[in-house]
Every structure is written in structure tokens, then in C-alpha cells.
Structure 1
Amino acid sequence: MKKLWVGLALGLISLLPAQNQEKTLYLKSGEKITGTVKTETDSTVTLSTALGMITLRKDQIQPDRVTITLKNGDIVEGDLLQETPDSFVVRSGLGILTIPGDAIERVDFLRASEQQGRSGSNPERWYFSDERLIDLWFDPTGFPLEKNVFYISGFSAAYGFSDRFQVSTRWASWVVGDLNFRPKWMVLKTGGIQKMQALSIGGHFHQRGLPELKWRRESWQEWNRWAEYDQAGNFLSGDTSRNPETQTMWLRIGEDFSLVSFQDTLYLPDGNYQVTSGQYADYSSDFGPFTSGNKPWEELFIAYTLSKLKTSGQGRINYNLGASFIFYPGEPVLSRYYAGLDYDARPNLKLIFSVFYDEHYIPIYMDAGRDTHFGPVFTDVGFIYAKDEHWRFGLHFQRPTIALYYKF
């Protein structure tokens, strides 16, 4: 299993783009040239191509067509005449506009079509991938869902009420009566295309049920003794000196657990009698109405994301930090701290790496029934692939290993 995931990680790393990526330039003459940019001045650009070194005047090059979404919701589309870290100059239907970088929410490049002008997204130049993560699997990022976007998976669903606020739920838990909801509010967002920061807070509020993937280590003494006595109560035989045995097991947070002592008497045909006594553990994770999982509980979290445009100008690297705290009745506060990054390898492919500290987590390759000490530091690696504008598929190392959801 470990070799399989190491192979997967190496395979994902191999997908990372090279530093000297090829660039395709569309000329006003209708020609198209692909090569690696070697030098660039204010008036010319030199490419290494299959035809050799080619130097082009910039006035020969058809400007990139862009759609710029501003932070106030306005949208500008036109030819990109000039781009600096601080501003974009665009020739649009409104004239030539200089748009400050800190006023821009998103820039999308459009693809050139030789017959029909420009249409569709441009896979050769992109600042943002097809998917902006709201969670690193279970751990929140600083970003919520976009406004009016809805997603549903086999376990959960979410809706973006605004660009700063979303509500999600683990609808699969409804079948056991756990009506739960998870609001997330982005309280801070700063920066622009080159670098932006987001900070979100939220919580997950449950009517009942047990916290997912949270365990505690329990130890107890078990023993079982018996003895036979005659009618007068005199000891005849038995095992009354057996020492208690220590049992250790990982139980889910919220499982009922108690020690039960017993003593049974059995009368024999000859008038003698046997006495059996002992102690054992009684625990249950049953979701019945009068057993484990009937207490309301909540989780609070805070998440921060620093999103930077890659030096290649193709996609982003997002650095994430956060912490979550579960408050379950009768248990200490269950804390979890995490850090991770998601890397845009392609417009439709994100690579995800994370590390987290969790004293109550059991990895997929360990047996909870054994007397084993886990962690408490774990790592995870995986990817999210956008098949199209709706379907998303993911695979990662820690449980649950597969993610599949639909966005619209």
C-alpha cells in the first residue's frame, strides 16, 4: 500500500510543468508561432522555435483577449495591450482602460480561433485553474464557494450565498437524524492577481451523531474467576487467583463505555454450587435513539490561504494554514492543526499536499483494535481533476481516499 502511494506521489510530481514552458503567439497576419521566449524588449520578443530563433516585433502580435472581473462585480472584456504587476491596459468597447491590479478579482484569457476570432478559455495562458478549493479534503481553506455556486457529493453539499459566505452540510448523516450545517464566512480578503490573502472562520453544528475519524485510547482491567463450593460453603476447587488482564483499544469519540462487574451462581445436582465472577468492558457505537451519538456537538475552525501567481504566470500556488476544535460533551477539546498547499499543475489539475497534527486520528493503514500508538503528525498527498465545468474527481492517501462531486 505504501509503495502504491509513493508511486502516486512521484507520478504527480512528474506532472509539474517545466520552468521554460512553450508559448504560442498569434500574429495579426493569421499565423501562429510556438516557442520558448529567450529575450524580450519593449518592442520585440525572440523565440526559440522548431524553425530556429525568430524575432518578432510586438506590433505584429495579436494582443491577448481577456475577460477581467473586478472586485465590485463589473466585467471588462477586450484586447490586453499592456500588463504590469500594478495594472492592466485593455482596449474594450468602452475605450482604452487602465485597470488597477488591486481592483481585479480575476483575469481569464480567451483562446484564439483561426476561423471565428477568439472564443473559449485559453489553455496556453491562465492565471486561475478550473477549481478553487474550499477544503483540503476535510480541512477548510481561506476561500468559500463563489456566489450562487452549488455542489453535491456522495456525502455532502454546499451553496455559496455570496462571494464571502457559504453553508454546507453532511447530508449523509441525515439518515441517522443528524441535521447538521456548516457555515463559513470569509472575514478578510486582500491583494490582487499577483498575491491575495483570505481568512475565513466557521463551524459545523450537529444535532447528534459522533465526530468523524476521531478516536480515543482506552485501557481497562478484565478478569474472570470461578470456584466450586459444597453445601456448607466450603471451597472445593476453582481459579480464584487469576490476575486481571489489561485490555487496550481505540474507541470512537462519543462511544458509550463502562465497566460491568458480574457474579453468577450455578447450583449443581449433587448439592454443590459454582460461583463465577468477573469484570468486562461494555461499549457501543450504535446510533439508536437511546445509545451513543445522541448528544449535540459542534466544531469551530479558522483557515488562512495565501494565493500567489506562479513565476511562470501559469496558474497559482496556494498556501493554507488552519485549526479546528471539536467540542463534544464529556470529552476534552479535540484540536487539529494543519498546513498544506495546492498547486495548479494544469488548468484542470490540482496537486495537493498537506500535513496535520491530530492526537485523535487513526490512519487508514492502522488497525484501531490494536494497542498501538498513532501519530500524532500525519501527511497526505493527492489531486483534484476537473473533467469539465461540472464534474470533479479526486484521489488521496488518507481516508476517505476518493472524492467525487458535481458543481453547478
Structure 2
Amino acid sequence: MPREDEKYAFSLRRANAAAVLEYAWGRTAFTASDAIAATGLTRSTVIALCDDLVERGWFAELPNARAAGEEYRKGRPARRYELRASAGAVVGVDAGQHCITATVADLRGNVLARTYTEIDPDGLGGPERVKAADATIDQAIALSGVPKASVMCVTVGVPAPTDRDGESPDGEYEYWRRMNPGYAAHFRARGLLTEVENDANLAALAEGALGAGVGASSYIVLMSGERFGAGYVVDGHLVRGKRGAAGELRLLNLVEGVGSTEGIGALLRDWALALRSSGTVDTSSPIMEAPRPNLSAELVFEAAAAGDPAALALLDRMAERLARVCAVLGGLLDVERIIFSGAVADSLAPVLPRTAAVLEGLTHPPAPDLVASPLGGGVVSLGAVTRALEIVRTDAIVLEPLAPADPPGTGGRPPAPGTLTHSARMSST
């Protein structure tokens, strides 16, 4: 049985190794001297730990500083190291109502492959959804070219609140149970480090890391397609609530001039259908001319861009509604920015200035900035990748990296631009 001093020495070495590994995560090439300055550890400790991390597969040793072109007047050139991007992989999944998307990335966040599977939003039960998620993930891993054994974490986004164990609340909301049919238990049974999180929360993480939330300490992400859901980042922290339901927007049912959680896509479609049936729209309007099944939010945006009066009136109506939503949420949390995220975000350029003008009269100045996400429909799977990388980074010292198979000195760098493997049906992000 280990003595107390042996246990202490082991714990200290592990903590020191974790500090060096954490330093490497945010860097490209670095020297032992760089790591010493950052961690405060002794030279002998850092060099021994770097050698150990090279042997374990976390680090690659690069050509020394002199070989890399740095000039040294005397002494031995510095040894250089780099975290191996190919030491592992993560998978981010958007398990939405209509589609399941899986994204595979290396440890630097470089996307290696993305696949998606369209599913029946109403007819597919829990077991079938799990099966579809399995198949989508396996296809993405196969397309990425990484071994299955290299996957260190899977994060799944669902349109439902989730607790710390990845389960959604029971009760009256059968929809939540159908959207989250036990993904956490299923993937953990496959031996995968797994987290299941609300999709709007993951979108908020993606926006903060890669999108319109960069540089903002407090912002709201509104998922604004068929229904509204929100992810809140306040003072740099994601706000989840006791059951992970902070972003469920049933409070909108109580807001005058709003009255429901229906999103931009659903509302514009329904309003256009109502106008069409009313007989009050000019017959030359695209709202009247389009085949009924094609009447969608996208058609309304296109018609408005062409100057159609009926479509422009619908955008004004939408601006009034969105301004009330933003006034309530932005005033409650005192955020600096509200980000409209999801596939509909690409079409919102004509709506947001209208919304901002109305919002000015509903809130104390300065009103939060209203911006559209640049991340497109893949925002949730990118947020899932972001979260999976956070988990791996936190737990890295207890995880086993993939054994090196790279040529000496490559550091497990990603493939050259243009060699990204993906599904032919991959959506651009």
C-alpha cells in the first residue's frame, strides 16, 4: 500500500503535469523556458514532464529552436514542443427535432467531418432517434478518418432542458422526453465520455468562442426558427438554472404582444398563410403566387427584399414582436448584445434594424445591440464541439491520448487547407 509521502509525490507530479498540459493547450510551439515562465515550475521538472507527455502521446517534440531558424550565440538550442492535435478527437451532435448533425473535430477544434440525417419530426420515437444518432456519428467518424478509439468526448445538444446528468425533466412535456430519449446513458454505455446539454446553451458557447458573442461578456443567444429558445451568458458565465431550464421561454406567453414561444420561421409562415386566405393581398404578390407548400419564412424575406408591400408589412409586424421579446430578456439580464442564431439568422438583415428602432422606445438606453449569427445552421453542433473540447481540456490529465503516428516534427497538425473530408450533404457553416 502506498505511503503517504508517495501518494503526495504522485499527486504533486500529476498536478504539475496538468499545469504544463494546460499551458500547451492554448499555444502552438513552445519551449521549456516558455512553460517554466508560465507555470513557475523548475527547469528540471518541466523538462521531465515534457518528456513524459511526449512519451504518453500528448506532445510532439519539434525541431529545435536553431533548426527552426532562431539564432543562438552560445549554448544548446532550446527544445520545442507542441500539443498534438491528432492525440484525440471530439464529436459534437445537434440532435434536433428535424435533423441530427454530427461534427468531428481534432483537439485544436479543426473540423474534420460533418454529416447529417434528416428525420421525421413527429413519427420517430426515442429508440429510433438514438439509432439515427448512432448512425450519424459513426458516419462522421468514418469520414473524418480518425480511429473510433481516438474519440475522447461526445457532446449532444437537444431542444430540451437538461440537468447535470444529461436528463430532461419529467412531467407534462412529452416533447422533451422524445427529444432527449436517454442519449447520456446510451453513449456512456458505449464507453464514451458524454455530456447532453440544451441546444441554445451550446449555441451560446459557439457564439462566444467563434461567432457574434466574441468580445462580449454578457449576451443572449436566441434560437429563432420554429420556436424561441435562449442561451444566456452573463459576466462570462453560462446561466443554466437548477434543472437546466433557464432558457425555456414560457414567460413569453405572458408578454403582451408576444403570447407564445413560436419563432420567426413558424410565425412568418403562419402569418403569410393567413394573409393569403384573407384575400386582402394583391394577386401579384409572391405570397399569393407561390404554391401553398412553398409559402415559408424564406419566401417572405425574398419578397420583402424585392419590395413587396405585403411582405414588408409582415417584417414590420415581426419587428414589433421581436422588440418586445428583446426588451423583456435584455432588460431582465442587462446584456450588451442579443444574437439571433440558427438557420434563419442569414435572412435577418432587413428585420434587425426595424427591431432595433422599436426596441429603443421600449427599454432604457443604451438598448442591447441586435446582431445575426455568422455561424449558420451548424451553430449547435459547433457549440457541442466547443463544449466537448472544454471537457477534454479539463480532464486531459486522466485521459489517454492516441499513440503518435505522425512523421517526426509534425505535431499532429491538421491536413492542409482543401483536404477537409465531409459528407456531400454537409451544410456550409
Q: TM-score range by the shorter chain?
A: under 0.3
TM-score (norm 1): 0.22
In terms of fraction of residues, the more strand-rich structure is: 1
Q: Bigger relative contact order, structure 1 or 2, given CA contacts below 8 A and separation 6+?
A: 2
TM-score (norm 2): 0.21
In terms of fraction of residues, the more helix-rich structure is: 2
